[in-house]
Structure 1
Amino acid sequence: MAETWNSAVRQKSRELHGDTWHVEFDDSITPDNTAPGWFHYISGSFAGFTCSLCKRYWASKRVQVIFHFSLNSASSLGTIKVRLFKQECKSCDEAHMEDPNFPAENIDVLVERLVGKIRMRCYKEDLGSSNRASKFYDKIEGPHESSHCEACRIGICSQGK
């Protein structure tokens, strides 16, 4: 999974002033607890889930993702920490929180939007109205299962509000 995200970041690297950025997954980051010198960005996208117990598949229209990012100017190295919010199967009594599976197209859009935030915050670029990112690949309708959504449980899911 990390390689898919790192590959998407590398594809956008020309917009990041020649600096090298890498992705790390960190399930402990929260939007209200950003380390000094770090910035945060929250977005969401369509993703699918598969229950590790019953193998049931379901899709969710808005799966939250938190990014924390920081640039070490001296070394030209940037770090992006990513937390993908999980969901649990509504059919299983003792369901586990399952990791989302984002379509590659949606990872590209999430990274495109993140790169815009990095350019504005780390490089002090004024993107103005040119900061219009692509749209997500989204093919589902239906209710959001707030009681099974990790992001809803901690109060950051836009669908649960």
Structure 2
Amino acid sequence: MKLKNTVFEDIEIGQSAALTRHVKMSDIAGFAALTGDCNPVHLNQDYAVQTPFHGIVAHGMWSAAQISAVIGTKLPGPGSVYLSQDLKFVAPVKVGDVITTKVTVVDKDYNHGFLTIDCQCTNQKNEEVVFGIATILAPTERLVIDIETPEVRLVDGLC
């Protein structure tokens, strides 16, 4: 996969990028194994049906990771540094949902090279599931790089 960034000077307020993912149980299980967050609401259907969610839900931070993916691969792209975030998790994300993650530049700090980015994740019904703001240190050097998508096999997960 070829990744290309957009440097600070070329980024415009209002510029946006998005990524869409279909949520699979393997995404949730993999996230649990990698992070050690083995809360049964994410992994055990018998338990999860008894919760207010009525079934397994993805980790909230899985959605936050999608925001990071858009920032790190699309806008600004490679070379970006994620400095801070303030997110609200307003609806559950379930297996089978189609989540579209969109980031939009809302401010530029020319003194420090920071971007303020509006972040939003919506499901297939266009319902907002996560929203918030992130601060990003934008790259100053143009970069085009070939990246191989890693193949991950979990043998000794934390769960």
- TM-score, scaled to structure 2: 0.32
Q: Which has the higher contact order (CA 8 A, sep 6+)?
A: 2
Q: Which has the higher strand share?
A: 2
TM-score if structure 1 supplies the norm length?
A: 0.31
